Structure 1
Amino acid sequence: MATRKYMLWMGEELSYRSCQSKRYITKVMFMCAVSRPIYSADGECLFDGKIGMFPFTNQVPAARASRNRPRGTLETKPIESITKVVIKECLIQQVIPAIKRVWPEGLSKHIYIQQDNARPHIKNDDPEFMAAANSDGFHIELVFQPPNSPDLNSKTVDDLVNEVMQAFVDYSPSKLNNIFLSLQAVMVVIMKCKGHNNFSLPHMGKGHLAAIGMLPRNLEANVELVRECIEYLQGIGKTDGLEYLMNELGYNVKGIVDQLNGM
C-alpha cells in the first residue's frame, strides 16, 4: 500500500516508520544547493539562499527516426548511473562556481556543503575537490548527513527537469528559512528521543511569529538536554561525535563532558 493510517491509544508511542515506493516513475536525479536566506532588520530579503539546481542529464542523438522526430535529434536523457565521477564533476564544475558567483559580499567564505551518505558521494578529503574549493579566497568543506530523497513524478524527462527548475526559481525564501528553523526543531526532538524517529513533527506557528515580528533566528537546546544526550552517547559507547561537538560549541560542551567524566 502506498499509504496506511494507524490509530494510536492516548500516550502510545509512534512505531518506526519506513516506506519504499514500488511504482514506476520517470527518474531524474538533481543536485540542489541551498543556503540559509539573509534578511535585513526590517525584513527585506537580502539573499534568497538559492545556490542552484543541477539535473543529472545529458543530450544524446536519437538512434532511430520516429513520427515525432528524425534520427539524430538531440534528446534529453537522464544519467542512469550516478557515480563518484559524476558527483565530483557536478560539485567541481557547477556547484562550487555557483557558490562563488552568488555568495553575498561580506559573509565568511568558510562554507560547509552538507551532503548525505549515499555511496556515490565523494569524501571530504578528495584532492580535486579540495583544489577547486580552496581557491578565490573561499574555503569550502564537505560534511555529511543521513540520506533523505523526495519522490517526483512527470511524463517526460524534459517536463520533469523544467518543472523542478521552475519550482526552484519560484520557491519562497521565507519558506526556505522556515525549513532551516524546522530542521533545528526536529534536531531538538531527536535529542529528546535519543536518536529515534518515533516523534510527532514539532509545530511552532512560524507564520504567525513572522507576522508579528517574533520569528527566532535560531532555536536552542537547553544545557540539561545536551548533558542527557552526551551521557546517553557515552553509555552506549558512541563517543566519536563528542570531539566534534566540543570543537563546534566550545567550552560549554567541553565543561559538560568533563563533569560527566568526573562522575
Structure 2
Amino acid sequence: MVSKNLSTQERNKIVQFLLSNLKNGKPRYGAMKEVSSLFNSSQRTITRLWAAAKKQKKNGEEIYLRSAKPGAAKRKRVTVDIELIQSLELHKRSTIRRLAVGINQSKSTSLEVGKPGADQSAFKFSLEALEFDRIVMALKFKATENIVHIDEKWFYITKVAHRFYLTPAEGDPHRTCKSKTFIKKVMFICAVCRPIFSEQGDCLFDGKIGIFPFIEQVPAKRNSKNIPVGTLETKPIQSITRDVMKEMFINKIVPAIIAKWPSFASKLIYIQQDNAKPHIHDSDPDFRAAATQQGFDIRIVHQPPNSLDTNVNDLGWFRAIQSIQTERACYNCDDLVKAVEESFAQLSPHTLNKVFLSLQSCMVEIMKQKGHNAYKIPHMGKDALMRANQLPRDLEVPIELVDECINYFNDNAPMHLVQEVVEKLGYPFSQQGLLNDFQQLGI
C-alpha cells in the first residue's frame, strides 16, 4: 500500500468513522481494516490516529486531528454552542445569515455546523408591443417625489417547504395543517413613495404610506374548542372585486396619504397602479371626491402592462418585507397581519430609498434597450456608497440617451399611440410635434 499524507479533513473523518463503530468502548472487529481500505491508508496509520484521538479525549480536549504536513494550515477551531442553536426558533435559522446572527458567529462557521440548503430559480417574461409605454415612463422617472406606488401581494401563514439549519442531534421538524394545497393567506395592498432626506442625512419623510390587509370580521358559525359561536374571527377577503378595491382606496389609502404627506411637498400626487381588472379609474366620482380634499389633487395613473420592473413594490420592497415576515411563526390570520405590519414598520427608509434608486437604474436600462426588458438589474454597490457617504440622490442620464429615445419614439410610434400613451400617464398632450410635447412634459 502506497503511503500518503492524510489531510486534516480525512484524519477527522477516520476518527468519526471509528467513533461511530464502537463496541464496549473500542472499535468493533474489522473496523480498522474497513476504514483503512476506505481511505487507502495503512492500518498502522489508522492505529496511530486512533491513539491520538483517545489521548485528546482523555485530556478532556475536543477531538480534532490536524495534518502534520509542513505548511498545513493551523486554523483555530471555533467552538459553537449546540444548545444555543437549538434554543433558536426555527424561523430564526432558515438561512445561514439569520443563523449566524442568532449565534453571533460568521457565516462560514455557521455553515459548518448546519445542514446544507437548497437552491432557487427565477424566470423573466418577454414583452411584445409595450416598448413605447415603457420609454415614456422611463423618460419621466426623474419626477418620483410625488408618485405613490401601490401594488397587491398575497402573504401566506406558512410555506409548503421550509429550510432550517439543524444540529446533528436534531430531527426534522414536523408541522401539521388541514391542506398544503390551500394554505391560509391574506392579500395586502402596499403604498410607498420616495423618502425625503435633508442635506445632513436626516429623514424628513420616510415614504411609507402604509400596508393594508384585505380582511373582515366574521362571527363564528359554530362552537369549537378555541372559540364559542358568535365570536368575531378575522377572515381574509378571498374575492377582491372593484367595490372592495374602491373602498380600500377611499377609506384607507387616500386618508393615509393625506395624513402622512409632508406639508412642504406638492399636493399634486399620482398613485401608480398596475392594470388589474378590479382597480378603479381616476374618473370615478367617489374617488375624485375623496382625492380632492384639503387642497390635495390625487390622481391615478397606470404603469405599462407586464412591467413589474417599473413598480417599487415588485422590484424589491415586497421581498424586503417578506424576508422579515418569514422570521415570525404565524398560526392564524391575526398573527399574519401583525407580522406583516410589523415587518413593514421595521424596515428603514434608507432601504426604501435604495429600491427607488434601483428603479431609476431600471429606467435607464429601459431607455438603452428601447423599451424592452432584455437586461439585468444593475448593481451599484449602494451599501458601500452609503458607508462612504457617496450615495447619489438621483442617477444621471446622458442627454444623448434621452435624445436617442425621443428620436426612436418619433420614428417608430404612430401619432395616435403617442397621444394614447401620454394621456394614459395622466399628462396634457398637444399636436405641436413630438419633441415639443416631451418638452412640455418636463423632459
TM-score by length of 2: 0.50
Residue in 1 aligned with 2:217?
Answer: 59
Preserved CA contact (<8 Å) 2:246 2:287: yes
Give the deviation of 1:172 after TM superposition: 0.6
Distance 1:68 1:54 in 2: 27
Partner of 1:74 in structure 2? 232
Aligned match of 1:156: 332
Q: 2: distance between equivalents of 1:169 and 1:66?
A: 34
Structure 2 equivalent of residue 9 of structure 1: none
Amino acid at match of 1:92: I
Change (3 A) 1:155 1:117: farther
Question: Are residue 143 (structure 1) and residue 301 (structure 2) matched?
Answer: yes
1:221 to partner: Cα distance: 2.6
Answer yes or no: is the 8 Å Cα contact 2:301–2:426 preserved in 1.
no
- Greater helix percent: which structure? 2
**Structure 1 pair 96–189 and aligned structure 2 pair: CA distance change class (3 A):** same
Q: How does 1:74-93 map to 2 (within 5 A)?
A: 74-93=232-251
Residue identity in the other structure for 1:67: K
Tell me what 1:171 maps to. 347
Counterparts of 1:1-263 in structure 2 under 5 Å?
Answer: 3-4=120-121, 16=125, 24-145=182-303, 146=305, 148=308, 155-233=331-409, 234-237=411-414, 238-239=417-418, 240-241=420-421, 254=435
**Per-residue deviation, 1:196:** 2.3
Between the two proteins, the alignment pairs up a number of residues equal to: 244
Aligned to 2:147: none
Spell out, residue by residue over 1:197-222, the C-alpha distance to the aligned partner (whole angstroms, 9 max, x if none): 22111111111222222211112332
In structure 2, relative to structure 1, the CA distance for the partners of 1:84 and 1:189 (3 Å cut) is same
What SS class does the counterpart of residue 132 from structure 1 fall into? helix
Distance 2:381 2:336 in 1: 32
Residue aligned with 1:29, SS:
strand
Find the aligned partners of 2:428 and 2:402 in 1 and give their Cα distance.
15
- Contact 1:230/1:242 (8 A) holds in 2: no
Change (3 A) 1:134 1:257: closer
Shift of 1:176: 0.4
Quickly say closer, same or farther: Cα 1:31–1:235, change in 2 above 3 A. Answer: same
SS at match of 2:189: strand
Q: Provide the secondary structure at the position in 1 that maps to 2:294.
A: coil
246 and 225 in structure 1: CA distance in 2 versus 1, 3 angstrom threshold: farther
Aligned residue type for 2:195: P
- Aligned-residue identity in percent: 49
For the aligned residues, what is the CA RMSD? 3.2
Displacement of 1:144? 1.3
Shift of 1:36: 1.1
Cα distance in 2 between the residues matched to 1:183 and 1:174: 14
Question: How far is the alpha carbon of 1:15 from its aligned partner?
Answer: 6.9
- Within 2, Cα distance between the matches of 1:81 and 1:170? 29
Q: Offset at 1:68? A: 1.5
Higher Cα Rg: structure 1 or 2? 2
Deviations 1:16-37 (A, max 9, x none): 479xxx9654321112111211
Structure-1-length-normalised TM-score: 0.80
Letter in 1 for 2:292: N
Q: 1:127 to 1:257 in 2, by over 3 A?
A: closer
Q: What stretches of structure 1 of length at least 5 have no aligned partner? A: 6-13, 259-263
Structure 2: stretches of 5+ with no match in the other structure: 1-118, 128-159, 161-180, 309-313
Question: What letter matches 2:405 in structure 1?
Answer: C
Q: In structure 2, give the amino acid aligned to 1:26.
A: K
Q: Give the direction of change, closer, same or farther, for the CA distance of 1:56–1:15 in structure 2 (3 Å limit).
A: closer
Q: How far did residue 157 of structure 1 move?
A: 2.0
Amino acid at match of 2:230: G
CA contact (8 A) 1:15 1:198 kept: no
Give yes or no for contact 1:38–1:48 (8 Å, CA) kept in 2: yes
- Residues 16 and 198 in structure 1, CA contact (< 8 A), matched pair in contact too: no
| Residues 101, 257 of structure 1: alpha-carbon distance in 2 compared, 3 angstrom cutoff | closer
